[in-house]
Structure 1
Amino acid sequence: MNNTEQKIVEALSQVVSPWAAHNLLRRALRGHSPDLLEPAGWAALIEGPLQQELKGVLPTVGLLPELQTLVKQLRAQKQRPAEVRPPTQPTLETTNLTEYVDLERAQDREKLVLDLARGEGVLAVVLDSVHGQECRLGVHNEGLVGLLSIVHRLLDRKGSYRVFYTVFREAQLVLRPLERGYLAVLTRNEANLGQLLYRMSKIEAIQVGAER
């Protein structure tokens, strides 16, 4: 790990665990070699992909003061003659609008679950509602559904929640309440948690008699 990487991890570790900080940086660096990034490239990565990843996990957190200072230091450094192309920021073009699902229609429930199951790194998807249940469990069994239902009930008892997520050693779980049920997606750790959280927060159940 080079000096810039170490400073980024140390700054992130003030708001997340060191392990989560390493994961955030790794996801932001996807497709880029840290040894080949120029100072300006690092600055662009911090203000772009890294900040996007951090917002996905902690939406209310802005650019950390330590990272702001680091960006200024990086931009003040001289560049090598070669052209520096800042990393491309992940786009959310396909998920920038509210995504409605009619839970009363089995085909709509199945379409949503299948679409989410095709996502990169997705291990399992469960949609549980009073109108029916749709699952794509992969290598998992029905025990996962029971566990997710318990987690949803516990969260619901504590008060309404918009999106819940947790990170395990080898997987990430995102849970979204929908009417009196829930939508859950289990992914590998390398999957883009920020984008998944953003999309899940935009999924809404169609209310009977309500206009979209």
Structure 2
Amino acid sequence: MPRLLLIDDDAQLGEPLAAYFARFDLQLEQATRPSDGLARLREGGFDAVILDVMLPEQDGFAVCKAIRASSDIPVVMLTARGEVMDRVVGLEIGADDYLPKPFEPRELVARITTVLRRRRAPAAADGRLRFDGLTIDPATRSVQREGSEVELTGTEFDLLLMLAREPGKVFSRDDILNHLRGHEAELYTRAVDIVVSRLRKKLEPLPAIKTLRNAGYTLALRAQQGDRA
């Protein structure tokens, strides 16, 4: 059963939400203070984090940065009032998804289920994808850039894998957003741009992702002989 950590200072939220999540075979635990949440994450054993933006001690953005400094665990942020800037900042610092408050518990379950599904290795891995300077292993969800391991979030990896499976194909922002969401959602193209920018920076100095104005993005690296062209 996947184990989730809710970091939210609303002590009344955890118990009913945990009971609801249990109906979907998800175990939810709560930390009401960031320091406690980070300490529990360091102990390990969690599969995803639900992180509120408005917290005591430090805000959720600082907590997300601290998590990303040592872990690629999926993070879904709860943003106050659905502010666009909260979403932008959250994605820029490494969150995998966001959900505005107030939210429907069923939608939060759907978001968590999606990020957990993306994190699992594919049932039928098709082997490593090799490009000039870049190797992608779908089975282990690992990436090497010029021989060095690259730490990617689940969302970043899935975006890269999507592009790598069809190198040279141009994916529109709508294509990418719907693929990463795993379900139809209100289009938020800025979110795609942010994730692409994060991924591109991590793959530097390789010129891996090319932007085609008013069209979308494509993987610009040459596939090595024996891999898909």
- Using CA pairs under 8 Å that are at least 6 residues apart, name the structure with larger relative contact order, 1 or 2: 1
Whose Rg is larger? 1
> What TM-score results when the alignment is normalised by the length of structure 1?
0.23
> What TM-score results when the alignment is normalised by the length of structure 2?
0.21
